[in-house]
Amino acid sequence: MKANRTSMLKRDTSAQVGIGTLIIFIAMVLVAAIAAAVLIQTSGVLQQKAQATGEEATSEVSSNMKVLAAEGIRDDTTDLSDNIDLLEVQVSVSAGGSAMDLEQMVISISDGDTTNTLTYNDSANLSDSSFRAEEIRDEDDSFDNSTNPVMNKGDLIRLYISTTNEGDKIIDSQNVSTSNLVLDPRTDVQLTFTPESGTPQQMSFVTPSSYGVDKRLSLYP
């Protein structure tokens, strides 16, 4: 009888140990599941941050703007001017680029002796400190040079830059003031377009050796 009691007691102890082990196992599984959920959530957040950082970096190292062409206009109020008095530059959003707010863009132009820094101002005369723009093609009919000068994909925009070294005048329907630049024949001209985001876009050309009797001169490309 005593032996039977001892045997039963041993069996009861084994059962308790088994239940304890099961509880520990379940706890370990729960901890592992919680840890896995935290890791998955953290990896998702990190992936989103990495993607956003990558897109921002791509925007910073790529140019949003493409320069297509540039023409020089000579004043012909009386006789044809000896110099180029107005610069017209056609631009668009580059492939893969994003919309560009021209009010946030800065243009630098130099004739080798004088350098002007220009910002967008649709209400002022073109001068040594301002440029303006008009749409040639507006894909979604959203561009407004007064209230919304934002260039979207598919748009074709013309920028106007004063290059005259004389007084106020009207050239090609644009009110132009002196820029102190002198774009006579064989002038090396450098322009830099710096948008709000993306790398600056540079353009350079040398004016023709002779202007002849042409009012409009193709300068770029």
Tokens standing for residue 214? 């042409």
Work out the pLDDT band at 32, boundaries 50, 70, 90.
confident
pLDDT at residue number 71: 98
CA-CA distance, 160 to 188, in Å (whole number)? 19
Q: Mean pLDDT over residues 116-139, rounded?
A: 95
pLDDT at residue number 216: 98
pLDDT at residue number 58: 43
The H or E element containing residue 136 is strand 130-137
Is 70 exceeded by the pLDDT of residue 193? Answer: yes
Tokens standing for residue 101? 């707010």
pTM higher than 0.75: no
pLDDT at residue number 160: 98
Q: Give the whole-number percent of the chain exceeding pLDDT 70.
A: 82
